[in-house]
Amino acid sequence: MIHSLVEVAYLAAIVLFILALYWMNDPKSARRSVSAGVAAMALAIAATWSRPEVVHHAWIIIALLGGVVVGVPLSRVALTAVPQRTALSHAFGGLAAGLVGTAKYYMWLGEDPSELTGFRMTAIVVETLLGFLTLTGSLMAAGKLHGVSWIPQRPVIYPMQNFSNLGLLLTALAIGIFLIVNPTGSVLAFPALIVLSLAFGVLLIIPIGGADMPTVISILNAYAGLSAVAMGFVLDSRLLVVAGALDGASGLILSIIMCRAMNRSFTNVLFGGFGQVQEVAAAGGEDRHYKEETIEGAAQTLEMARFVIIVPGYGMAVAHAQHRVSELYDQLTARGTTVKFVIHPVAGRMPGHMNVLLAEAEIPYDDIVEMDDMNPDMGQVDVALIIGANDVVNPAAKEKKGCPIYGMPIIEAHRAKTVFAIKRGKSTGFAGIENDLYFRDETFMLFGDAKDVVGELTKQLAVDAAA
The catalytic site residues sit at 391
Cβ-Cβ contacts under 8 Å for 316 (sequence gap 6 or more): 322, 325, 354, 357, 387, 388, 389, 450
Residue 194 interacting with ligand NAP (CB under 6 A): no
Establish if 353 lies at the interface with ligand NAP (CB under 6 A): yes
Among 135, 339, 347, 374, binds ligand NAP (CB under 6 A): 347
Length of the chain: 467
3-state secondary structure of 307: strand
Q: Does 429 bind ligand NAP (CB under 6 A)?
A: yes
H or E element at residue 297:
helix 295-304
Of the pair 101, 273, the CB lying nearest ligand NAP is at 273
Q: Does 391 bind ligand NAP (CB under 6 A)?
A: yes
Residue 90 interacting with ligand NAP (CB under 6 A): no
Q: Does 349 bind ligand NAP (CB under 6 A)?
A: yes
# binding residues, ligand NAP (CB under 6 A): 32
- Contact of 230 with 241, CB cutoff 8 Å: no
3-class SS of residue 423: strand
Q: What is the CA radius of gyration of the chain?
A: 25
Helix, strand, coil % over all residues of the chain, rounded to 5 = 65, 5, 30
Q: Give the contact letters, 210-229, x = binds to ligand NAP (CB under 6 A), - = no.
A: -x-xx---------------
Please give the Cα distance from 354 to 358 (Å, whole number).
6
The site string for ligand NAP over 292-331 (x = CB under 6 A, - otherwise) reads: ---------------------xxx--xx------------
The one-letter amino acid at 188 = L
Q: Is 449 in the site for ligand NAP (CB under 6 A)?
A: yes
d(CA 467, CA 464): 5
Applying the rule CB under 6 A, the residues between 69 and 88 that interact with ligand NAP are: 83
Minimum distance from CB of 32 to ligand NAP (Å)? 23
Asked if 430 is part of the footprint of ligand NAP (rule: CB under 6 A), the reply reads yes
CB of 84 to ligand NAP, least distance (A): 9
HEC string of 183-239 equals CCCCCCHHHHHHHHHHHHHHHHHCCCCHHHHHHHHHHHHHHHHHHHHHHHHHHCCHH
How many C-beta atoms lie closer than 10 Å to residue 362's C-beta?
A: 12
Give the Cα separation of 257 and 254 in Å (integer): 5
Nearer residue to ligand NAP within complex by CB, 236 or 360: 360
Q: Give the residue, chosen from 66, 427, 463, 465, that forms a contact with ligand NAP under the rule CB under 6 A.
A: 427
Which residue from 381, 437, 450, 454 is in contact with ligand NAP, where contact means CB under 6 A?
A: 450
Cβ 42 to ligand NAP shortest distance, Å: 28
For ligand NAP, the closer of residues 131 and 275 by Cβ is 275
Three-state DSSP class for 411?
coil
Q: Is 431 in the site for ligand NAP (CB under 6 A)?
A: yes
Residue nearest to ligand NAP according to CB distances in the complex: 429
Q: Which residues bind ligand NAP (CB under 6 A)?
A: 83, 211, 213-214, 313-315, 318-319, 346-351, 353, 388-392, 422-427, 429-431, 449-450
